[in-house]
Amino acid sequence: EPEVTQTPSHQVTQMGQEVILRCVPISNHLYFYWYRQILGQKVEFLVSFYNNEISEKSEIFDDQFSVERPDGSNFTLKIRSTKLEDSAMYFCARNTGDSGNTIYFGEGSWLTVV
């Protein structure tokens, strides 16, 4: 059973369109993360989100990206004006909150920009 549920599992979008990827935690957690993995490349950190605020973001996470938790449950990643190079698997992740602070990943949303 996944730690978090992500939707959609796969989305194809045209270049320039906006995309919203969703993450629903199984239980109530405060720490969330978005990572991405371009096909054939390593997993990269995008942003961490704590208590409804961005706590840290990478250089990749520019103005094209935004995150929010609009209803206190779903955690969303919005990508505006998508580009071909945004094609990747996007993983939502959460902390266990224990002393090891282990991170568990959702099953991912595969985004294809055409």
Partner 1 sequence: RKEVEQDPGPFNVPEGATVAFNCTYSNSASQSFFWYRQDCRKEPKLLMSVYSSGNEDGRFTAQLNRASQYISLLIRDSKLSDSATYLCVVNMNTGFQKLVFGTGTRLLVSP
Interface with partner 1 (CB under 8 A) = 31, 33, 35, 41-45, 48, 50, 55-56, 89, 91, 95, 100-108, 110
- CA–CA dist 47, 12 (Å, integer): 23
- Among 71, 65, 55, 104, smallest CA distance to 86 is for 65
Question: What region, left, alpha or beta, does residue 97 occupy, with left being phi > 0 and alpha being psi -120 to 50 degrees?
Answer: left
Query: Using CA atoms, how far apart are residues 24 and 38, in angstroms rounded to an integer?
Result: 22
CB of 33 to partner 1, least distance (A): 7
Q: How far is the CB of 79 from partner 1 (least distance, A)?
A: 19
- C-beta separation of 46 from 65 below 8 A: yes
Q: Which residue, 15 or 54, has its beta carbon nearer to partner 1?
A: 54
Query: Is 96 in a helix, a strand, or coil?
Result: coil
Nearer to partner 1, 26 or 81 (CB): 26
Nearer to partner 1 (CB atom), residue 73 or residue 102: 102
Q: Which is nearer to partner 1, 18 or 56 (CB)?
A: 56
Q: How far is the CB of 89 from partner 1 (least distance, A)?
A: 7
Closest contact distance (angstroms) between CB of 55 and partner 1 is 5
